[in-house]
A and B are shown apart, each in its own frame.
Chain A
Amino acid sequence: MSVMNPILKNHLCKLPVGTVIVGKWHNHAYKIVKPLGSGANGAVYLAESMKGLVAIKLSDNGTSITSEVNVLKRFSKVQGAALGPSLLDMDDWFDPYTNRAIPFYVMEYIKGEEFFSFIKKRGKEWIVILVLQLLSALDQLHEEGWVFGDLKPENLLVAGMPPTVRLLDVGGTTLQGRAIKEFTEFYDRGYWGLGSRKADPAYDLFAVAMIMIHACYPLKFERKENTRQQLFTMIRADATLRKYQNVLMKAIDGAYKRAIDMKRDLVAAIHHDDLPSKPFVAPKQSSSRKQHHKKSKKRSGVLETAFIVVTLLCVYALYLYGQIL
């Protein structure tokens, strides 16, 4: 048996518009409007139902459907959180094309925009705002004893007014202390050699740091020999990221045990420049850095002159002392 039957998967990803899916247990009907996306674990469609527009996920992998429903059920018990979409129904559909029962679940349809395309449209200043929202949601999830796991921009949706970040695709959500169920290499601290794949809050916070880095470096990059140094250099080299370098490095090193601590430090870093006493202003452009360099050269010239004068004075004093004797 292969991981996913290719013919069946293909078929599930290409259900024609207008197909009516009726569950065999609860008898609710869903009419497919358009595809919303498909991945390794199934296909998601927009559908019409008695309750209005909904999102419906079908998969020939009953295991992953059941796992995801389990997580969504838990999430719905967490009050008022921007966690996953709320779960509406779960059932089996007898697929006439393949004569098989296809498990599916129905969730709230969240109309929104993908994280990165939102930032591209609305500007980089939104990165940190959305990350602050994300950290609040993660903190709630962590307090309930879970870790999101497969945290990446593709699983984040910005919806509503005011724009609010929502978590999608709960396939990676894992109980703390267990092995992360699903992950994506680029956002996985294990891949970067910077920690284990045991689910703890710091695992998600590492991914948050990677999302911020990726938001400023749109081209995906691969790990090099010294991964920590590599990430640090990239953070230092970007004007947006440099402002948060201490917070980002702490998240990368797994130093935050709680999302709320990282949020607090991020907020502090945002307002850092607004404070009246600025201890150090980072050079912003290469030209200003050159000027800075020149300045320091000048300063060292002054020091040199002072040094020579002092030495001469000393020699003269010694000479005078000798004359007096």
Chain B
Amino acid sequence: MRKGTLRQILLITDGCSNHGEDPIAMAALAKEQGITVNVIGVLDQDTMDENGLREIEGIAMAGGGISQVVYAKQLSQTVQMVTRKAMTQTLQGVVNRELKQILGSNVSMEDLPPEKRGEVMEIVDELGETVELEVLILVDTSGSMKTKLPTVKEALFDLSLSLNARMGDNLFSVFVFPGKHEDVEKVLDWTPKLEALSSVFPKLTSGGLTPTGPALRRAVSHFQKTRSLRSLIVRDESYFEESSM
């Protein structure tokens, strides 16, 4: 089986967007380009309002990813879990497509007898361990998110701890929205070391607008950059694009 690169956007937010394009449309755009969008909603004590919840679910659904709403305290465990689950889900989609090519149009892993399923699962596990991964993290820094930023930073370190334990390579990039001057601002360019974040994250200022849609659009276009970056680093390895399930 060919080895490709998995691309994910991880959106961390605590509420509804109120500026720019529809974030659900932008998530659909990401999916069309083979990028999975996962969303984590961060709660305070109280529950999130209905609109915020619906938007979070909508973005993840349109982006072919996973959504989860949690209290700030559970953020670390959730961020790494959602990322891993989304990886497995995408890889399973890839494996399912290969199965369909071999066994006919309507066969997926669930249609295999349980004994065979185990063998397929081992392939998915193997891929999850070795595949290259690019994660772009989009952090909402508007209004009430400000107090949660130290927790977000902690969760991102925890994520890099989990992902860097894999055999495959990782690239991380971090954007925040709203930015100081624009809708969205890059705080960390593609790097295998998410720890580099510590120097830039605390300087953030948070504003009133929540331009989730524009932030997603910018994130999608930032993935174009890794293509040229990778081809510089790895010359003789061919580059495959993986489309999501």
Which A residues contact B (CB, under 8 angstroms)? 1-3, 25, 62-63, 66-67, 69-70, 73, 90-92, 101, 103, 177-180, 185, 190-191, 196-199
Contact = CB atoms under 8 A, between A and B. Distances in A.
Given A92-B114, A191-B76, A198-B165, 11 more contacts: A1-B60, A25-B114, A62-B110, A63-B88, A63-B92, A66-B114, A66-B120, A69-B118, A190-B161, A196-B164, A197-B165
Contact of B162 (A2, A67, A69, A179): A179
Contacts of A180: 162, 165
Nearest to A71: B118
Contact of A3 (B66, B161, B164): B66
B76 A185 contact: yes
B187 interface: no
Contacts of B65: 1
Interface in B81-119: 81-82, 85, 88-89, 92, 109-110, 113-115, 117-118
A196 B163 CA distance: 10
For B81, B124, B165, the residue with the greatest tally of chain A CB atoms inside 10 Å of its CB is: B165
A73 B162 contact: no
Contacts of B76: 185, 191
The main secondary structure of chain B at its interface with chain A is helix
B114 A69 contact: yes
Nearest to A26: B114
Contacts of B122: 70
B33 interface: no
Interface string B120-133: 11101100010000
Contacts of A90: 114-115
B118 A179 contact: no
A204 B219 CA distance: 38
B161 A67 contact: no
B24 to A, nearest CB: 14
B118 A1 contact: no
29 contacts: A1-B66, A1-B89, A2-B66, A2-B68, A3-B67, A62-B109, A62-B110, A62-B117, A66-B121, A67-B121, A69-B114, A70-B118, A90-B115, A177-B167, A178-B166, A179-B162, A179-B165, A180-B162, A185-B76, A190-B158, A190-B161, A190-B162, A190-B165, A196-B161, A196-B164, A197-B161, A197-B162, A198-B165, A199-B165
B162 A63 contact: no
Interface string B47-81: 00000000001001100011110000000110001
Nearest to B82: A3
A179 B68 contact: no
A178 B124 contact: no
A69 B125 CA distance: 13
Contacts of A178: 129, 165-167
B118 A3 contact: no
Nearest to B78: A3
Interface string B130-172: 0000000000000000000000000000100111111100000
Given A62-B110, A191-B158, A179 B121 contact: no
**Closest CB pairs A-B (n = 9):** A179-B165, A197-B165, A66-B121, A90-B114, A198-B165, A179-B166, A190-B161, A70-B118, A178-B129
Nearest to B115: A90
Given A2-B67, A191-B76, A197-B162, A66 B167 contact: no
A25 B113 contact: yes
A178 B128 CA distance: 10
